[in-house]
């Protein structure tokens, strides 16, 4: 009976240690992430591409997204952070001399990031969901 109890205790201790170690690991945001958004006024979907790189807790990268007129442009992310499995960053774009900043927050789960994009326009705050999928690495 004692042998069974000792074995059970050992298994439980190993399981607890494995879970604690898994929780200490940070999610991996490195790579290329894509998602689509509905087009304006029923137009075609708009594809966005986000390239992320993490070093420590610092998150850097570039967002390529279609702008007005359908032309895609790149914008560097700012204030990039990785905390556990959560990422956050801002993207500022300029149009006709006006700057627009979007705040991205998301939670990484495997090859998916789900979260919110917050923007402000004419004093009105807007929020919408976003879900990006990591592209497979090209070999």
Question: Mean pLDDT in the chain?
Answer: 83
Res 122: pLDDT: 77
pLDDT tens digits, 45-96: 889 999 999 987 789 999 998 876 667 889 999 999 999 999 999 999 887 8
Task: Return the H-helix or E-strand segment holding 31.
Answer: strand 31-37
Q: Which CATH architecture describes the domain 31-134?
A: Beta Barrel (2.40)
Does the pLDDT of residue 28 top 90, yes or no?
yes
- Residue-range domain boundaries for the chain: 31-134
Res 1: pLDDT: 56
Q: Tell me the C-alpha distance between 54 and 71, whole Å.
A: 28
pLDDT greater at residue 97 or residue 89 = 89
Is residue 131 within 8 Å of residue 35, measured between CB atoms?
yes
Res 19: pLDDT: 46
Does the pLDDT of residue 103 top 90, yes or no?
yes
For the residues 116-137, what does the mean pLDDT come to? Answer: 91
pLDDT greater at residue 128 or residue 11 = 128
pLDDT greater at residue 22 or residue 31 = 31
């Amino acid at each position: 009976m004692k042998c069974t109890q000792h074995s059970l205790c050992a298994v439980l201790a190993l399981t607890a240690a494995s879970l604690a170690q898994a929780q200490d690991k940070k999610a991996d945001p490195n790579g290329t992430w894509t998602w689509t958004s509905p087009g304006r006024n029923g137009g075609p979907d708009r594809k966005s591409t986000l390239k992320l790189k993490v070093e420590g807790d610092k998150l850097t990268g570039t967002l390529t997204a279609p702008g007005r007129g359908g032309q895609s442009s790149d914008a560097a992310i700012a204030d990039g952070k990785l905390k556990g499995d959560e990422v956050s960053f801002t993207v500022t774009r300029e149009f006709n001399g006006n700057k627009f900043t979007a705040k991205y927050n998301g939670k990484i789960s495997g090859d998916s990031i789900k979260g919110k994009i917050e923007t402000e326009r004419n004093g009105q705050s807007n929020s919408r969901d976003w879900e990006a999928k990591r592209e497979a690495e090209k070999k």
